[in-house]
């Protein structure tokens, strides 16, 4: 150890001598060169204790310089890592912006779909209005039919009255016919007696017969003509009675057919009215389901916008944290560089002070022994300086601990970035699920459009059935079967709507939970940033204390 100390002291002395020679040569050149001045070199004697302490201090400063260089390299590496993280976060931000643009496009598509659905709803409303108009026209037709039925009933009442009058006339005619039939044998008997009398008179007196032949003929021929007229009149009355009976039967059959037609028309219109009411109820139900789906889509859009805003806020917060960490690392790097510069300046100042001390030592060689006591006191000062150096080492250790905490915070920010990426992936999955649900809702809208077209076709068929009024039963059965199919499809669509609403509610709950978790993480990040600021403040205070201690050490060296 003594030999090493001697070697160090000799090396220091040699360096000091060379420095003095260099200064002497410079002064020689300034004073006129070697002709005007001469340089005298001597062996300089320096106290061993002072050289040892100065060497220890120099070694300590060199170790501190190396440590600061290492910390500077670590800070540069951390800064590079922070720059890489910021570049990654910027790329992620670009990706998120692209996804945000895609989501905006999807939202625009959904709005267009909602507008198209509104247009379809307007078309359905127009069709409903047309059906209402047709229904009103049918009601007008029903009223016209009812008016015709009332007129037919009035005509029937008139016909019944006429029939009663005809029946009364027929009864009168039958009574007359009976009277005539009762009078006819009497007249026949009177005619036979008259003939007998005529024959008797012919037999009694031919001449009287001859005389009154013309008179007899004039009496007998009108009687026969009258009898034939009565027979023809009776046959005419019988044929008229039969015609009246046929007319009354035909009128009754016509009245029955009119009643049947009116009853059939009334039943058909009643069935059509009931079916129209049912179809309108189904259409109203589908419209309500459509309104519900549109409201659900709007709720999903709002939830998706909220989720996107939360993700954007989270990305901005993480970016701000990474930028703040990078700024902290840059500040620490600048502080380390400044500290290294100050250490180098202090080192150069110490060297200059040592050279000045060596130059003064040549003059004060004679009084070195008198200052031995002062050297002992200065040894105590050096011990104090060693304690201060130990304090500096503890401060440096604290600074390294702060650097470790900052590195841990950087790791935490990286983990946060990874968590943000995971959250973005989860949001992408949720967006994919929402796209599937949107496609399902679109299919549901297509099915509703098909149902509306089917309802339109059914209404057209109904109108044709009302116009034609033939084959109504078969068409009603077909319509009933189609309506049953439509009702089954509507029930299936309602079930799918219920499932979709349940899934949307689940997605909304998950988004709310995710937002709460993001809010909690943001609060934790704020707390950590506050702690980091406190640590930075403590590091700055410790750095100020170290600088003050270095200044005190420099002043003490100057006094030495």
Residues 531 and 555 in one domain: yes
Q: Are 499 and 293 in contact (CB under 8 A)?
A: no
Specify the pLDDT at position 491. 64
DSSP designation for 364: T
Answer for the pair 71, 336: CB distance below 8 angstroms, yes or no: yes
pLDDT of 350: 47
When divided into structural domains, the chain yields a total of: 2
Please indicate, yes or no, whether residues 140 and 12 belong to a single structural domain of this protein.
Answer: no
Query: In the predicted model, what is the mean pLDDT of residues 319-348?
Result: 60
Q: What count of other Cβ atoms lies within 10 Å of the Cβ of residue 424?
A: 17
Residue 21 makes CB contacts below 8 A (sequence gap 6+) with 39, 41
216: confidence class by pLDDT, cuts 50, 70, 90? very low
Predicted local distance difference test score (pLDDT) of residue 322: 55
Examine residue 467 and state whether it is found in any structural domain, yes or no.
Answer: yes
* Contact assessment for residue 54 and residue 354, using Cβ atoms and an 8 Å cutoff: yes
| Nearest to 102, CA basis, from 424, 421, 458 | 424
Q: State how far Cα 32 lies from the chain centre.
A: 93
Regarding whether 128 and 7 lie in a shared domain, the answer is: no
Cα–Cα dist 336/77, whole Å:
14
- Residue 270 tokens read as 């009643």
- Taking residues 529-551, what's their average pLDDT? 66
Please indicate whether residue 205 or residue 61 has the higher confidence score (pLDDT): 61
Domain identity same for 41 and 62: no
* In-domain check, residue 366: no
7 inside domain: yes
- The pLDDT tens digits of the residues spanning 150-188 come to 676 676 667 667 666 656 666 666 676 666 556 555 555
What is the per-residue pLDDT across 432-488, written as a single tens digit (0 to 9) for each?
666 676 666 566 566 666 666 666 666 676 666 556 555 545 655 665 666 566 666
Residues 13 and 100 in one domain: no
DSSP state of 43: P
Of residues 380 and 121, more confidently modeled: 121
Tally Cβ neighbours within 10 Å of residue 382: 22
pLDDT in tens, 481-522: 665 666 666 566 667 666 656 665 665 555 566 556 656 766
Q: Which domain holds residue 425?
A: 47-353+401-559
Per-residue pLDDT at 70: 81
Structure tokens at 151: 């007129």
Q: What mean pLDDT is predicted for residues 106-116?
A: 70
Task: Please state the rounded mean pLDDT for residues 402-415.
Answer: 59
Q: Do both 5 and 94 map to the same domain?
A: no
Q: Degrees (nearest 5) of the Cα angle 234, 240, 242?
A: 105
**pLDDT grade for 367, boundaries at 50, 70 and 90:** low
C-alpha 269/C-alpha 277 separation (Å) is 12
Higher pLDDT among residues 358 and 432, named by residue: 432
Angle at 194 between CA 190 and CA 199, to 5 degrees: 150
How confident is the model over 262-297, as pLDDT tens digits?
A: 566 556 556 655 665 665 666 566 556 656 655 665
Does position 348 have pLDDT exceeding 60, yes or no?
Answer: no
- What average pLDDT score do residues 119-129 get? 70
One domain for residues 72 and 183: yes
Q: Are residues 28 and 108 in the same domain?
A: no
**Rounded average pLDDT over 367-371:** 55
Kindly state the average pLDDT of the residues 176-205. Answer: 56
33 plus 175 within the same structural domain: no
The residues, ordered by sequence, that sit 6+ positions from 365 with a Cβ below 8 Å of its Cβ are 45
Query: Would you say residue 300 lies in a domain?
Result: yes
d(CA 554, CA 220): 188
What is the DSSP code string of 149-213?
Answer: HHHHHHHHHHHHHHHHHHHHHHHHHHHHHHHHHHHHHHHHHHHHHHHHHHHHHHHH-HHHHHHTH
Query: Cα-Cα-Cα-Cα dihedral of 323, 328, 329, 333, to 10°?
Result: 140
CA distance 305 to 315: 15
Kindly report the average pLDDT of the chain as a whole number: 62
Q: Mind listing the pLDDT tens digit for each residue in 32-65?
A: 666 555 544 444 444 455 557 767 777 777 787 7
Judged against a pLDDT cut of 60, whether residue 114 lies above it is answered with: yes
pLDDT score of 548 more than 70? yes
Evaluate whether residue 394 is within a structural domain: no
The model's pLDDT over 8-37, given as tens digits with 9 standing for 90+, comes to 666 766 776 777 677 667 766 666 666 555
From CA 263, how far away is CA 272, in angstroms rounded?
Answer: 14
pLDDT at 41: 45
Same domain, 18 and 104: no
- Does residue 128 sit in the same domain as residue 243? yes
Q: Is residue 369 part of a domain?
A: no
Q: Does residue 35 lie in a domain region?
A: yes
My answer on whether 51 and 170 are in the same domain is yes
Cβ atoms of 548 and 388 within 8 Å: the answer is: no
Burial category of 84 from C-beta neighbours within 10 Å (exposed 0-12, middle 13-18, buried 19 and up): exposed
Q: How far is CA 113 from CA 119, 134, 440, in A?
A: 10, 31, 13
Please indicate whether residue 202 or residue 495 has the higher confidence score (pLDDT).
495
Cα torsion 308, 309, 313, 318 to 10°: value is: 0
Residue 370: inside a domain, yes or no? Answer: no
Q: Tens of pLDDT along 250-263?
A: 555 655 665 566 56
């Amino acid at each position: 150890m003594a030999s090493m100390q001697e070697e160090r002291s000799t090396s220091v002395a040699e360096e000091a001598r060379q420095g003095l020679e260099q200064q002497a040569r410079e002064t020689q050149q300034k004073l006129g060169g070697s002709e005007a001045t001469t340089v005298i070199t001597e062996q300089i004697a320096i106290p061993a204790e002072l050289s040892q302490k100065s060497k220890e201090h120099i070694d300590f400063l060199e170790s501190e310089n190396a440590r600061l260089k290492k910390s500077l390299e670590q800070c540069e590496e951390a800064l590079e890592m922070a720059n890489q993280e910021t570049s990654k976060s910027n790329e992620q931000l670009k990706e998120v912006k692209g996804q945000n643009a895609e989501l905006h496009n999807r939202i625009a598509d959904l709005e267009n779909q909602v507008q198209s659905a509104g247009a379809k709803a307007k078309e359905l409303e127009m069709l409903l209005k047309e059906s209402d108009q047709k229904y009103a026209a049918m009601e007008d037709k029903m009223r016209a039919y009812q008016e015709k039925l009332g007129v037919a009933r009035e005509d029937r009442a008139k016909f019944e009255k006429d029939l009663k009058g005809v029946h009364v006339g027929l009864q009168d005619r039958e009574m007359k016919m009976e009277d005539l039939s009762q009078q006819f044998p009497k007249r026949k008997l009177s005619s036979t007696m008259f003939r007998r009398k005529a024959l008797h008179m012919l037999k009694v007196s031919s001449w009287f017969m001859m005389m009154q032949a013309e008179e007899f003929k004039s009496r007998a021929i009108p009687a026969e003509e009258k009898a034939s007229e009565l027979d023809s009149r009776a046959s005419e009355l019988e044929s008229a009675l039969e015609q009246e009976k046929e007319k009354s039967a035909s009128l009754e059959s016509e009245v029955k057919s009119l009643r049947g037609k009116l009853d059939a028309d009334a039943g058909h219109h009643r069935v059509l009215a009931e079916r129209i009411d049912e179809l309108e109820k189904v259409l109203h139900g589908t419209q309500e389901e459509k309104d519900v789906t549109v409201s659900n889509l709007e709720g999903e859009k709002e939830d998706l916008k909220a989720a996107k805003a939360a993700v954007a806020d989270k990305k901005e917060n993480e970016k701000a944290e990474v930028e703040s960490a990078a700024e902290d690392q840059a500040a620490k790097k600048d502080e380390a560089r400044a500290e290294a510069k100050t250490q180098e300046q202090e080192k150069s100042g110490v060297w200059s002070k040592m050279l000045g001390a060596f130059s003064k030592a040549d003059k004060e060689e004679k009084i070195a022994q008198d200052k031995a006591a002062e050297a002992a006191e200065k040894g105590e000062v050096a011990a104090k300086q060693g304690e201060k150096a130990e304090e500096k080492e503890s401060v440096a250790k604290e600074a390294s601990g702060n650097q470790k905490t900052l590195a841990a915070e950087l790791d935490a920010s990286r983990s946060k970035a990874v968590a943000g990426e995971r959250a973005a992936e989860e949001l992408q999955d949720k967006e994919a699920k929402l796209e599937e649900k949107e496609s399902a809702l679109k299919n549901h809208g297509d099915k509703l459009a098909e149902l509306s077209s089917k309802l339109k076709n059914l209404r057209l068929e109904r109108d044709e059935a009302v116009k034609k009024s033939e084959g109504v039963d078969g068409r009603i059965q077909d319509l009933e079967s189609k309506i049953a199919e439509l009702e089954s499809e509507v029930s299936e669509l309602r079930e799918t709507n219920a499932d979709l609403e349940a899934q949307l509610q689940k997605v909304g709950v998950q988004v709310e939970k995710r937002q709460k978790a993001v809010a909690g993480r943001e609060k934790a990040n704020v707390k950590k940033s506050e702690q980091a600021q406190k640590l930075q403040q403590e590091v700055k205070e410790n750095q100020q204390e170290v600088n003050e201690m270095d200044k005190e050490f420099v002043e003490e060296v100057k006094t030495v």
